[in-house]
Amino acid sequence: MTATARVAEFVVSTTLDRVPDAARVQVRRAALDSIGVMLAGASEPIARITRTVARLEGGIPLCTVVGSGLRTSPTWAALCNGAAGHAHDFDDTSFALMGHPSVPLLATALACGEAETAGGADVVLAYLIGFEVSAALGIALNPGHYTRGWHATATLGTIGCAAAAARLRGLDVARTTHALGIAASLASGLKENFGSMTKPYHAGHAALNAVTATALAAAGMTASPSALDGSQGFAAAFSGDKLAPGAFAELGREWQIVLSGIAVKPYPSCALTHSAIDALIALRARHQLTAAEIEDVEVGVHHVVPEVLRHPAPANALERKFSMPYCAAAALGRGRVGIDDFTDGPVRDADVAALVPRVRMVVDPSLPDQLERQAWSRVTVHLRDGRTLEEPARGASGHPEAPLSDAQLRDKFLGCAAGVLERGEAEALVDQLMHLDEVPDIRALTARLATNLDRP
């Protein structure tokens, strides 16, 4: 049996009663977080651009584009919602995937769910199937895949999203195998585009690829049954090596959504900045620091980080999300980091602007090398009075070992929804999402996500 066929069997045979309760809880939290960041990102330039093109191209109005008045085809809705959800880089991450799992999966599941008039339980199961496939690929191919320059959200994520879409469309094993093979040829996404609009586009691209691949397979299009593990297949092309035997053996036996978990972001910037942000906010509060007291700041990071945080002197909002000097300066200068810290034009806060050139990022070879700890950093702050303040290497808040509480996650959602939904409606939506698997028709949820934003 090929790896593609093994995945297809998992997609078709898995039922929700085989899923542990802890996994369902994670899906509800992921859905709440993902819908929140989609709402927050709906007014961002990348979201407006994708909606503009969707309107120009046209499409049967089956599916909701979150945070807008647009209804369009499943493919365009998947693209628009995925891009909006990743616009602020505020969506969750997975250490197994080394990317962003939930926004592409939810964008896929909402589009296919509306088109197929699926229930919430179907969406939950599709998300779980997609997450597990993505995570298994990540464990098999990373870190080599990621360090070669591929953005796993878009590459590995396309395969996971295709698995989710195939389940929602009710494809059999043969057509699911073809859908996965088609998706393998569509998958793409380069880290070189980090700090530009193309980076958030990647999340929508994965969802678009998945909906397209499954639609083509459903209509009868074929693909190689060894598209994932063949000598010139997905794994070989994207990692330089064949997929190891048994890469998908644990699908349905172990659940990576529980074992490796999901990291929910408290800050709208690259996850590799979060450990330093936490540490610097804590130091600022503990010592009542002001910008004028700070001589310089050193942030020690894992060796994979400089290739990602590649903007030491960022010129715009998107580059600032991938700039350790900027994110560290915002944390020290303001004692918080939020969506309003990432705007185009000159840096608004004088303290933050003054601190940016005082921050330097260095590779620290003593930092742990495990995948889940490559996001750790340590900080050293030198003060002008001669004192040195330090925070040792540590993980960040929101990571699986230090998850956000339900109350914190709710507050994040309400903050993201503010300005898009009325407060009462946003609170009702929280309650509905926390019972997602009980929603009889997913359209009862998506109907609440349409607003008057740029209604044509």
Q: Chain-centre distance of CA 265, in angstroms?
A: 10
Asked if 293 and 383 touch (Cβ cutoff 8 Å), the reply is yes
Average pLDDT over residues 175-197: 97
232-251 residues labelled b (16+ CB within 10 A) or e (exposed) = ebbbeebbeeebeeebbeeb
Is a pLDDT exceeding 70 seen at residue 43?
A: yes
Tell me what pLDDT residue 456 has: 46
CA distances from 266 to 3, 165, 417 (A): 36, 29, 15
The Cα–Cα gap between 361 and 24 comes to 39
Assess whether pLDDT exceeds 60 at residue 106: yes
Q: Which domains does the chain have, with CATH numbers?
A: 3-266+432-449 (1.10.4100.10), 271-394 (3.30.1330.120)
Q: Which amino acid, 116?
A: E
User: Does residue 455 register a pLDDT over 70?
Assistant: no
Res 240: pLDDT? 86
pLDDT of residue 244: 83
**Buried/exposed 180-193: b ≥16 CB within 10 Å, e otherwise:** bbbbbbbbebebeb
CB 261 within 8 A of CB 400: yes
Of residues 99, 141, 107, the one with CA closest to residue 127? 107
Q: Residues 43-66: what's their mean pLDDT? A: 96
Please give the structure tokens belonging to residue 54.
């969707």
Q: How many CB atoms lie under 10 A from the CB of residue 312?
A: 16
Q: What percent of the chain has pLDDT over 90?
A: 94
Predicted local confidence at residue 453, as pLDDT: 72
Report whether pLDDT(85) > 50: yes
Q: Which two tokens stand for residue 77?
A: 């809705």
243-272 average pLDDT score: 94
Strands 388-394 and 377-383: antiparallel
Higher pLDDT: 105 or 371? It is 105
Spatial separation of the C-alpha atoms in residues 113 and 127, rounded to whole Å: 11
**Any residues with CB less than 8 A from the CB of 46 and at least 6 apart, and which?**
83, 84, 87, 197, 200, 201
The span from the CA of 356 to the CA of 339, in Å, is: 18
Q: Tokens in use for 448?
A: 């609440």
For residue range 148-172, what is the model confidence (pLDDT) as tens digits? 999 999 999 999 999 999 999 999 9
Residue located via tokens 């998958």: 187
Euclidean distance between CA atoms 251 and 6, whole angstroms: 9
pLDDT, tens digit, for every residue of 281-323? 999 999 999 999 999 999 999 999 999 999 999 999 999 999 9
Nearest to 131 by CA among 166, 106, 168: 106
